[in-house]
Amino acid sequence: MQITTILKSAGIALMAASTLAQAQSAASYPDRPVTIVVPFAAGGASDILSRQLGKELTQTLGQSFISDNRVGAGGTIGARAVARATPNGYTLIMGTNSSHAIAATVNKNLGYDPLRNFAPISLVAHVPQILMVNPTLPVKNVKELIAYAKANPGKLNYSSAGNGTPGHLGMELFKMMAGIEMTHVPFAGGGPALLALAGGQVDLMADNVSSALPQVKQGKVKAIAVTTNRRSSALPDLPTIAEQALPGFDSGSWFALFAPADTPKDIINKLNAEVIKALNAPETRATLLAQGAEPRPGPPEELTKLMRDDIEKWTRVVEKIGFKME
């Protein structure tokens, strides 16, 4: 009986010590630079958002939040690295619906589970995509694009940020609904894919407003539609694909901050509060909205629900178009 009492007391003491250590850890966090892994190339929407948010967190938390681009495989290389990182709050990821939803529906050998291997911190932003063509392509709208593709079967090709990304599956859904054929040319990130479009290496692509807007404004690419079911505040006069030709069409991107699973809850809560504060700051909101990104910070539970809903949605699409990655 005495031994049992001693063991119970020791267990309680250990639990108390652990709780105290976590509280102290959160109170002093961060005490050194924090890395935000960006699983796509520089210049893409995830890179832009990571650097903007990192700048705000650096100012409020007093330690550098540094973006680290680890590109490849539709964002899954970077995500896999963060899933295996030490869960102490010093390695985070600017995840997307590509790396944290779509990937789970198309890749049998993903190497991580988006729902089990990550601790959601907060949704950062929703970003509509723009359907763009090279200026030399003789089309001005979606109806003309579909007609051109039907008159020239197999001639058109489109770029994307990689296999299994929203820009890839969104265009596959577009092909299916429009009844046309095009060739997919994947790149290691939205930046290189957009440069290929501007340079005439490919004919069209769907990319996030935040990264595509500069090329559109400079006339290097021609925007013909918004891919989401609502118009973009950055290009309010540009009609959606659904409005122009394919009712019900809806495809876009979201971006969110994650830590590895088992990161102390107090650190997650602290980061969540700081992300919400940063994204609700008038200057930050104005900056992101000007780039076509719609800030949507919230609690971790909302992000978890978004992931589950998106996995269900894209599972249906993937099964319908018959796409799988080995």
In 179-299, which residue ranges form alpha helices assigned H by DSSP?
Answer: 190-198, 209-217, 241-244, 265-280, 282-290
Q: Which of 74-78, 162-166, 224-228, 263-267 has the lowest mean pLDDT?
A: 162-166
- How far from chain centre, in Å, is Cα 6? 51
pLDDT by residue (tens digit) across 52-78?
999 999 999 999 999 999 988 878 999
**Residues with Cβ < 8 Å from 9, sequence gap 6 or more?**
none
pLDDT by residue (tens digit) across 272-292?
999 999 999 998 888 888 878
Residue 217, domain extent = 128-244
Q: What is the DSSP letter of 325?
A: B
pLDDT, the chain, mean: 89
Domain count for the chain = 2
Pick the residue with more confidence: 22 or 34?
A: 34
Question: Whole-model pTM?
Answer: 0.79
**pLDDT in the model for residue 63:** 97
Query: Is 14 a domain residue?
Result: no
Domain identity same for 134 and 208: yes
**Residues with Cβ < 8 Å from 298, sequence gap 6 or more?**
122, 123, 276
53 and 65 Cβ atoms separated by less than 8 Å: yes
Percent of the chain with pLDDT over 70: 92
Query: Is 8 a domain residue?
Result: no
pLDDT band at 21 (very low <50, low <70, confident <90, very high): very low
262 and 84 Cβ atoms separated by less than 8 Å: no
Domain identity same for 136 and 235: yes
Query: Is 151 a domain residue?
Result: yes
Report which secondary-structure segment, H or E, holds 7.
helix 2-28
CA distance 227 to 204: 13
Query: Is 20 a domain residue?
Result: no
